[in-house]
Homo-oligomer: A and B are copies of this chain.
Amino acid sequence: MTKRVTIADVARQAGLSKGAVSYALNGQPGVSESTRQRVLRLALEMGWHPNSAAKALSGARSGAFGLVLARPASTLGVEPFFMRLISGMETAMASTQTALLLQVVPDHDAEIATYRRWWAERRVDGVFLIDLCVDDKRVPVLEELRLPVMVVGGPGHHGSLAGVWIDDASAMVMVVEYLAALRHRRIARVGGVPGMLHDELRSAAFDSVADRLELEWSTTIPTDYSPERGAQATRRLLSGANPPTAIIYDNDVMAVAGVSVAHEMGVQVPGDLSIMAWDDSVLCEITHPPLTAVSRDITAYGRQLAEHLLALLNGEVVTEVQDNPPRLVVRGSTARPTDHRPAAVTG
């Protein structure tokens, strides 16, 4: 096991040419079924694996997909989202021996430079584009490079690139309707980064449903998804003269931070304040009270994305695919608000 087995070794052992062995191994026509079986068995016995560099150089695929994360290292570890997404992707990629190349960079310019380098180096067969923004400058670059891309997000705003999206807007409607049904009339949202598409979509949906349901009051406070900013937003909301009775947080970590702030300020959850987290995770289950959350199957989403990128490489036409809609998981952090004032609005 100290020397690597090449296709020439297998060919010699089989008494065939390298070309014939290659055809047999790759399921190409031009070789009899019995020969193919014999070669396959022999390659397995001899412990042959294709040299990935040789394979890539001779025009085949590099056998890797790329994922660039342009978030600060500090934020990265916090949300379970990424690791879930990655492990979902790998589930689908494992069957085709495709590896995942991961790169962490500081910003979108460095991300674009990475795509250009990967393209020139022929490093990857395709990439996943994450954290899609409105007017995203990465999109035209990827279109120009003609690198196969699967966008994590949408709908729309990714030009001619393919993508898989989850319907956050409908989920937001569901969430607000749920809170309204509990008789909440003052609902706040601790949002994400304006300009990021999913944040814009959630904001727009939130505003429109608040309008339609004729809520007494509603507002969105933008954040950078960090627990610090989530806590700060919560303090600001709760110290107003007429605080909200429910807050929707754009991620799990900020929601947990929100619960802590409520505790600190002596605000009862869910008695005085209902709290909702957007992405469900184990964090939502272990806090006290456990958090009602919008749950998306991130692992399945990752799998979908990888499967569609593989399909794209196989020449299938993929444009915009919708993944399963989020579900509402009701736990202990949401309830009908305690009435401190005379009922006015509700009939």
Q: Residues on A close to B: CB < 8 A? A: 1-2, 4-5, 47-57, 62, 64, 73, 76-84, 86-88, 90-91, 94, 97, 99-105, 116-117, 119-123, 144-146, 226-227, 231, 253, 256-257, 259-260, 263-264, 281-283, 285-288, 298-299
Q: How far is the CA of A149 from the CA of B47 in the complex (A)?
A: 22
Given that A227-B282, A282-B227, A287-B260 are known contacts, is A121 also in contact with B77, CB under 8 Å in the complex? no
Query: What are 10 inter-chain pairs, A to B, with CB distance below 8 A?
Result: A47-B120, A51-B120, A52-B122, A73-B87, A73-B299, A76-B83, A90-B103, A100-B103, A101-B101, A260-B287
- Chain B residues with Cβ below 8 Å from A47 are 116, 120
List 12 other contacts, CB 8 Å, given A53-B55, A77-B87.
Answer: A4-B119, A4-B120, A47-B120, A51-B121, A73-B299, A76-B83, A77-B298, A99-B101, A253-B282, A253-B283, A257-B286, A259-B288
Residue in contact with A87 in the complex, picked from B2, B76, B283, B285, CB distance below 8 Å = B76
**Do A287 and B256 have beta carbons less than 8 Å apart?**
yes
**Do A286 and B53 have beta carbons less than 8 Å apart?**
no
Q: How far is the CA of A256 from the CA of B286 in the complex (A)?
A: 7
Q: How far is the CA of A283 from the CA of B64 in the complex (A)?
A: 34
